[in-house]
Amino acid sequence: MSEVMFKRILLAVLLVLGVSLPSTYAQCSTNFVNGTDYFPSKVTFDGDSDFQVTYYNSYKIVNNTLANETYVLYCTAYSPTNIGVPSNAKYIQVPVVKSIAVTDISAIGFLKAIGMEKNVTYATNPENVTAPCLQQSISNFTGASNQIGVVFTNTPAADGSYVTLSLSDDMSPLQKADRVKLVSLFFDKEDEANTYYNATQTAYSCHAQNAKISLQDKNKKSIAWVAYDGSAYNIIADSYHMNLTQDAGALPLTTKATSYTNLNDFQTAVFNVDFLIDLTYFDPNQLTWSNWLKLFGYVENDDDNTPDFINKKRVYRIGGLQNPSGHEDWFENAEAMPDIVLKDLISIQYPLYVKSYRPTWLLDFAAAEPPTIVNATDCVSGQSPDTCTIGAFNVEDDGGDDGDNNGDDGNDSNGSHGLAIGLGVAGGLLALASISAGAFILRKKYKEKFFELKEEPSVQLTEVNGEIRLTQIKQ
């Protein structure tokens, strides 16, 4: 009996026994029919993406142009031949059903976005993993094996199962986020990736637009991202952090030098910023405010020689969500969720931007704000993009005394923004189409954290001279 006939008989037996039908993809490997498009759902990468994909009926050729790697993802029983790819191309059968390993924790965020994180079995530094569904099951990754179908990494390796994400801070937040499309190709989860990426892009643009229309002629606040790397104090000025800062309506700190071995010079450079966000890696057991002050050479004494960000408690870190051993979720999820990073960055400056929203990752470290701990009982698979409604917010209503001339901070007790906002037609339509799919899942997931993701304001839409006007009637 031929193998094909055996498989057909087996299939018939399975059908008679009422076992669920194998997917289209499974049929590709067991009952291949020439001419069938086995990848009806497709992703496309933007022109400035670091990836390219070309679909054929039973395989897809994927290029990583940064790492110069080619992956041939095929669904047939045997890998295709003579298809004109470089000799070092990697061949991986899809959908990958074996274990997934990650050498970089950030890959988990992208897998979560397409609902695949539960299939991650191995991670380098498993103690860093924060995903509630993985905390108890994840094992230490010590190398490729035949139990492992794919290894997502940031450091290229010759092994045939390693796929390079090529994440770096020299790219924009949305460019990083398109890795969700890359990882989806390995599991035929293109539909999930398209939905997630589109919603993320829409929410990101919405937050950026809100900051832009609210702050156009206003005094912007300045933000410096900093890190001590063991030998120098750095002001981080790469595309990723600059883009985020600008899109959050703030002024990035631009200085001639970005790396300082002399602490005094560093302190002088950052003296006038409104917000300092520290990204220094600390052993969780060593991370205290007094250790931080010591490392950065500050004394908290409320005098004129102490910068405002110390006296007014505006030193932030990214540890708002942690696992029970203190490892920070930021490294796992922020790159896959740029919309929420941006919302955080606007919210620390203007706490009433989204009413009742407490930033997800950005934590007022100087004010000893406690982190939210996520543990295994919080396991809800998948990830949802943010919700965002287009509309200006009241930049005076920022609840803090920031010493600029914004007016009566912190005493606007009725909370009313009372704004009539003129939006372009596109903006108005976006407002109408405000995406809301994600709020529920997120809220359920981190229940103690997300009291309320978004309190929708009551608005009235009117058309004035071809422009849609959004008028907030009451809060």
Ligand X SMILES: *[C@@H]1O[C@H](CO)[C@@H](O)[C@H](O)[C@H]1NC(C)=O
Binding positions for ligand X, rule: CB under 6 A:
34-35, 52, 54, 61, 63, 68, 70, 85-86, 88, 95, 97, 105, 118-119, 125-128, 140, 142, 172, 187, 194-195, 198, 239, 242-243, 246, 281, 324, 327, 331, 375-377
Q: What single-letter amino acid sits at 128?
A: N
- In the complex, least distance from residue 231 CB atom to ligand X, rounded to whole angstroms: 16
Q: Considering Cα of 114, then 117, then 119, then 124, what sign does the dihedral take?
A: positive
Measure CA of the first residue to CA of the last residue in the chain; give whole Å. 73
346 with 388: CB under 8 angstroms?
Answer: no
Structure token digits, residue 10: 């087996």
Q: In this complex, which beta carbon is closest to ligand X, that of residue 138 or of residue 310?
A: 138
**What pairing do the DSSP bridges indicate for beta strands 372-373 and 321-322?**
parallel
Cα dist. 236→126, 179, 253, 336, 459 in Å?
28, 23, 9, 20, 40
**To the nearest 10°, the Cα dihedral for 6, 11, 16, 21?**
180
Q: In this complex, which beta carbon is closest to ligand X, that of residue 198 or of residue 268?
A: 198
Q: In this complex, which beta carbon is closest to ligand X, that of residue 212 or of residue 312?
A: 212
77 closest CA partner among 154, 156, 7: 7
Reduce the DSSP state of residue 113 to 3 states and report it.
helix
Q: What single-letter amino acid sits at 382?
A: G
Q: In this complex, which beta carbon is closest to ligand X, that of residue 198 or of residue 259?
A: 198
Structure token digits, residue 461: 């839409």
Q: In this complex, which beta carbon is closest to ligand X, that of residue 54 or of residue 413?
A: 54
438 with 199: CB under 8 angstroms?
Answer: yes
Q: In this complex, which beta carbon is closest to ligand X, that of residue 125 or of residue 311?
A: 125
Distance CA 396, CA 417 (A): 10
256 with 269: CB under 8 angstroms?
Answer: no
Structure token digits, residue 100: 């997934």
252 with 245: CB under 8 angstroms?
Answer: yes
Q: In this complex, which beta carbon is closest to ligand X, that of residue 239 or of residue 416?
A: 239
- In the complex, least distance from residue 87 CB atom to ligand X, rounded to whole angstroms: 7
User: What is the CB neighbour count within 10 angstroms for residue 109?
Assistant: 26
Q: In this complex, which beta carbon is closest to ligand X, that of residue 190 or of residue 397?
A: 190
- Axis-axis angle for helices 239-247, 338-349 (nearest 10): 60
Q: In this complex, which beta carbon is closest to ligand X, that of residue 116 or of residue 390?
A: 116
- In the complex, least distance from residue 98 CB atom to ligand X, rounded to whole angstroms: 7
- In the complex, least distance from residue 123 CB atom to ligand X, rounded to whole angstroms: 9
72 with 89: CB under 8 angstroms?
Answer: yes
- In the complex, least distance from residue 181 CB atom to ligand X, rounded to whole angstroms: 10
- In the complex, least distance from residue 68 CB atom to ligand X, rounded to whole angstroms: 4
- In the complex, least distance from residue 318 CB atom to ligand X, rounded to whole angstroms: 10
- In the complex, least distance from residue 313 CB atom to ligand X, rounded to whole angstroms: 25
- In the complex, least distance from residue 48 CB atom to ligand X, rounded to whole angstroms: 11
